[in-house]
Amino acid sequence: MFQPAKRCKLIQLSEIRKMFELVAEDAINLSLGEPDFDTPLNIREAVKVALDSGFTHYTPNKGIIELREAISCKLEDENKINADPESIIVTVGASEALHISIQALINSGDEVLIPDPGFISYDPCVKLAEGKIVPLELHEENEFRMTADDVIDTITDKTKAIILNSPANPTGSVMQKEDIKGIAEIAEDNNIYLISDEIYEKIIYEGKHYSPGRYTDNAITINGFSKTYAMTGFRIGYVAAKPELIEEMLKVHQYNAACASSLSQIAGLEALTGPQECVGEMLNEFKRRRDLVVKRLNQMEITFKAPEGAFYVFPKVENSMEFVNKAINKGVIIVNGAGFGKCGEGHFRISYAASYEKLTEAMDRLDSINI
Ligand SMILES: Cc1ncc(COP(=O)(O)O)c(C=O)c1O
């Protein structure tokens, strides 16, 4: 009889993907974290040129130097992080960056604080490394923000790392500067690493993004191109950390992916160094959609916190599973909050990365549900 490795039995396939596969063709899918925009033309053109010129071979394991230099400048200019190109690995999406960071850091039994509710990959990534998950409970009363006080109350002498995600999936909350700074100090004082997932950095409506990496060398900064530049299918991201950590991550990356796709690296290079108007245009459209969803949820008298960033809203209903099932019956796919952790129970997540027209129709359908 087939016996899979025990580590695979510790984790399950994503509920979100499973739901996606169930849906009828005419259903409106508000379950995926994927911008519906086309990748900007200049990026696609740069890839075509690279393809025609035969740029189809392996690249250095860490990624092409031009891209790492561009990332290094971006981190310095925008995030106030000092990371030279040798301290950066270009990865297969932020997803791989998360995986290699955790593989390089976590031993069996090490405690890792993860936001609850939080992005669905954190828990399985830590489990695959045999780490011990410690949920860091985020509460609606506090706008689902992670605070330095929450961290102080939750760390132990076994805490090896804390995962931060601001702006956050699934809540859209944005952490405040003093908390980022405070958590960076806690990390320094207690020899804890901060794995900072900054994939929604540019999708921010209120507040400002601060990277823990500007305050501590214990930060591992993870970012990517999927959300900011509508490049999910390119599978390209990056991680920056202090050199000794990067060398360990590189081993995992080398024997796992070897390098990110050469063409996707060209796409990433063009994204960072080409015109940036597309970023503002997409942000404006996300904001228009957010305002629509906020207005409609208010009219429906559903309790929720208006998102300050990312493209999710995380409302509360009495029986969220029942609500999600009723929504599916009406042809709107949304996700039950429990999938994001215990503190997500009683909530559901709407991704408003779909078109304004689809969102309008979806909100009409949700409005017709009896709750
Ligand atoms: C918080 C968060 N981190 C990371 C990722 C993965 O991004 P990528 O497409 O770069 O692997 C996602 C995707 O939904 C996300 O929501």
pLDDT at 20: 66
**Nearest atom in ligand 1 to 232's CA:** 9
Name the 3-class secondary structure at 89.
strand
Q: State in Å: Cα 254 to ligand 1 middle.
A: 21
Q: Is residue 312 within 8 Å of 6, Cβ to Cβ? A: no
Q: Is the CB of 31 under 6 A from ligand 1?
A: no
pLDDT at 351: 97
Residues sharing a CB contact under 8 Å with residue 347, sequence separation 6 or more, in sequence order: 117, 170, 314, 315, 316, 317, 320, 337
pLDDT per residue over 307-339, tens digit each? 999 999 999 999 999 999 999 999 999 999 999
Q: Is the CB of 95 under 6 A from ligand 1?
A: yes
Mutation test of ligand 1: which of 34, 101, 223, 226 has the most ligand atoms closer than 8 Å to its C-beta? Answer: 226
For ligand 1, atom 16: residue with the closest CA: 169
Structural domains of the chain in order of their starting residue, each with its CATH number? 6-39+277-367 (3.90.1150.10), 41-273 (3.40.640.10)
Q: Mean pLDDT for each 10-residue chunk of the chain (371 residues)?
A: 92 76 80 94 98 98 98 98 98 98 97 98 97 96 94 97 98 97 98 98 95 98 98 98 98 97 98 98 97 96 94 96 94 95 96 96 93 75
**Nearest atom in ligand 1 to 33's CA:** 14
pLDDT at 319: 93
Residues sharing a CB contact under 8 Å with residue 81, sequence separation 6 or more, in sequence order: 75, 211, 213, 214, 219, 221, 240
| Average pLDDT along the chain | 95
For ligand 1, atom 7: residue with the closest CA: 94
pLDDT at 81: 98
pLDDT at 26: 80
Cα gap 321→282, rounded to integer Å: 31
For residues 55-77, one letter each, b for 16 or more C-beta atoms within 10 angstroms of the residue's C-beta and e for the rest, the string is eeeebebbbbeebbbbbbebbee
pLDDT per residue over 23-37, tens digit each? 677 899 999 899 999
**pTM: predicted TM-score of the whole model, two decimal places:** 0.96
pLDDT at 22: 65
